[in-house]
Amino acid sequence: MKKYEIHKYAYTDKTSEELQFNLAFYESRLVLLQEELEFFKHVLGSTIFNPKTPNLFENIELFKAQIDQHMKLTSKLTTTVEKQYKEVQLKVECDELSCDDYFLRNYHDTELELVSFLTQTAQFKSEMMEYLKGIIL
């Protein structure tokens, strides 16, 4: 999977509205991701797999554990995005440059974490789907 880097000064000229839009987008993406992970966990708990597959139980349990980790981080990031969205709404009342710098730096750090997490999760889902394609009855 191709890795994208976000330049540290990419958001110095963002408006509050742009920050809110981006945060709302990430929040919706995280909510959808949570639903996808719950679906995969449900699929892994079903009995649709070839029982003669070597290490089937171990691999399924490993995927379940990884899904749980991703779900916890998804929940944490959703909370972070919601909090930051509310903070950006308050930014409208702040006219000082130091205030702008605070919000932009926090937004940038959050976005770096989100992009990295979403990329890692997409890679994980791809690997899991590739494995599952070969063992479903």
Cα–Cα distance measured from residue 89 to residue 12, given in angstroms and rounded to the nearest whole number: 17
pLDDT at position 105 over 60: yes
Cα–Cα distance measured from residue 59 to residue 83, given in angstroms and rounded to the nearest whole number: 36
pTM of the model: 0.81
pLDDT value of position 92? 61
Secondary structure E strands in 1-137? none
pLDDT value of position 7? 57
Domain boundaries, the chain: 16-46+53-133
Q: Are 87 and 46 in contact (CB under 8 A)?
A: no
Q: Please give the share of the chain, as a percent, with pLDDT higher than 70.
A: 83
pLDDT at position 41 over 80: yes
pLDDT value of position 97? 56
When the pLDDT of each residue in the chain is averaged and rounded to a whole number, the result is 86
5 residue type, one letter:
E
What mean pLDDT do residues 36-49 have?
Answer: 94
pLDDT tens digit string along 59-103?
Answer: 999 999 999 999 999 999 999 999 998 888 776 666 665 566 777
pLDDT value of position 11? 53
